[in-house]
Structure 1
Amino acid sequence: MTVVGSGTAPVLLVGVDFGTAHFDGALEELGLLAETAGMRPVARLTCKRKAPDAALFVGSGKADEIRTLAQMYGATEVLFDQSLSPAQQRNLERHLELPVNDRTLLILEIFAQRARSHEGKLQVELARLQYLSTRLVRRWSHLERQTGGIGARGGPGEKQIELDRRMIGESIKRTRERLVKVKRQRSTQRRQRDRRDTFKISLVGYTNAGKSTLFNSLVKAQAYTADQLFATLDTTTRQLYLAGAGRSVSLSDTVGFIRDLPHGLVDAFQATLQEAVDADLLLHVVDASNPAFPEQMEQVIRVLHEIGAADVPQLLVFNKIDSLESSNRPLGLLDVFDVDGTPTPRVFVSARSGEGLDMLRGALSDRALMAPASMPPAHAPELAADEP
């Protein structure tokens, strides 16, 4: 158990090691997620189990320990690093007498706070509705069956939970229909780019790897950036003129990925992630200063497989080399790195200082030259309006 820093709503972080390779023993990422959502981790607790307890996930003894620690440090909520079933969540709340949430809901909450575009808000709303539809048994189990019929003594009526489930089902249907329209609009925009034979590049990578900073450095844009998880959620597309190729390319900045990204979010963000699926080249941005970068790359590749973008050619961009110790800095800025058994070109850069960006532009020019000719390059503008 560890006591930690300052913030707003005090929360207790809990992680359970089931012997998986990706267990975060320090709960660092969960702590960053909590802080990003405006919470203040006051203590962290980890334990080991062979399998989750069906009722309380951690077992009754460890649940008692969590309750004691929460009281000791004044925590008003308990956050689990793993996903909880509705029954486990309900049982834990009764046992701890505190709100209990998991990593999935935390990520959904952050996405809800950060979405800015109409499309982004719709996608987050759909994911949250889908998540809540599985939790109705917990949130509304205290409500009694309504009275049916006419008069004070009617027969059995419809349960409140059934009403709520039906209303959420209708909201999901409406949100999906609105997202279909947005997806059509994006498809139209992509077809227009295809007619111009525009070479399409999408930035992908783990959250906080520096994608938006790199995007701003390449196209001299002003997309929002911050040293935090999920600083930007909405896809932004600009035109980038590559002098070495004598042509313009389309560059898109997409939402960052994360370990155990909720499947509901992957499904809901299909319209946004379609930019990666339809790209001619993926710039896979990696935080070279993070010791866990191999695991982060693995998570990104897993999501790319889920959305059908695994076969899109990649160029690795190892960012933040300015944060590396001198002994760990690369000897050269361009080499080859193995990704899923495939030798993949890699460029080392610092989006913040500009180091290596000329090498990156050169690598992009080489790729663009191998693609079909695009729009006339003469005096091609470096900037274009954001797509809605």
Structure 2
Amino acid sequence: MTKNKTLLVTGGAGFIGANFVLYWMQNNPEDKVVVLDALTYAGNRANLVSVESNEKFVFVKGDICDTSLVESLLVEYQVDTIVHFAAESHVDRSITGPDAFIETNIIGTYSLLKAAKKVWIELPKDEGKEAIPHRFHHVSTDEVYGSLEPNDPAFTEDTAYAPNSPYSASKAASDHLVRAYHHTYGLEVTTSNCSNNYGPYHFPEKLIPLIITNILYNKPLPVYGDGQQIRDWLYVEDHARGIELVLKNGHIGENYNIGGHNEWANIDIVKLVCNKMNQAFANKPDLIVKYPLATKAVEGNAEALITYVTDRAGHDRRYAIDATKTNNELKYQPVEFFETGITKTIEWYLENESWWEPLLK
């Protein structure tokens, strides 16, 4: 019989972390989940409201850089699995204010690794016992691999790291620390590198929710440069499913790419969302009453709001994930097609203005 797990999910009130918590608790109801989140600007307790009353759920407000706090949580709740999402992740913010990215993404990951090593390996050894069976899963990004030309093959797990922004450099550093703690100290780790996520609870500063909410306020839709930057898009629940497979079937010390097999140019994403919003207002007259400022969408012309702006510094041209290893070893495949995933995402934002409106103030 498989022992029930106790997970410590860092950054579990953020976009991807919260979606993972909701997915895990629905699909692994006997496991206990402890969320550690500092509730900075992108962490939102409201993301977890549906599991707050579950006796298997614990929320702790705290900083991953507080090593003693992490140690106490690992001991108190007998945590055997860390799933590490907590990170500063917005590239624009990393360009204007890189300090927070170094502190959270590098020092924070180091803090977690120290705590895990002490509680799972050192303390049992001091008592003459074997290390506690454990897993430290680190959630990373495709941005650590750098930028691709249009005809370059997609990133594999063997692609050399070449980060181009303070954000991606800080994530690359954290990846290397996780690897080092495995090879040097025997910490049982796995790492996953994912492509761009989208879906419910996505903070409104990111591309897809920004386009949706700006259309509702009839605001310009900013597109960097020529808009031809290409990204691979992954529905957030498919990402959670991929991490679940890594935790249950992945090999210790290995990296796994989790992608959506779904490359789109930014301008095409923006135009698709505009078209979907036009359709939504045409098919649901109540939206016109609910969102009276969305006059361009009401006219069926949300695309008129597109505004080209100066490209950001060091903007990578293309990311693409080759998830062949994950597909072959773990039998992973995205369940959500982009057409259905983007429709679900738009519907969620149209129905949950009470969640996102306060975040725009």
Compare the two structures and name the one with the higher strand fraction: 1
Compare the two structures and name the one with the higher helix fraction: 2
Q: TM-score, normalised by structure 1?
A: 0.28
Larger radius of gyration: 1
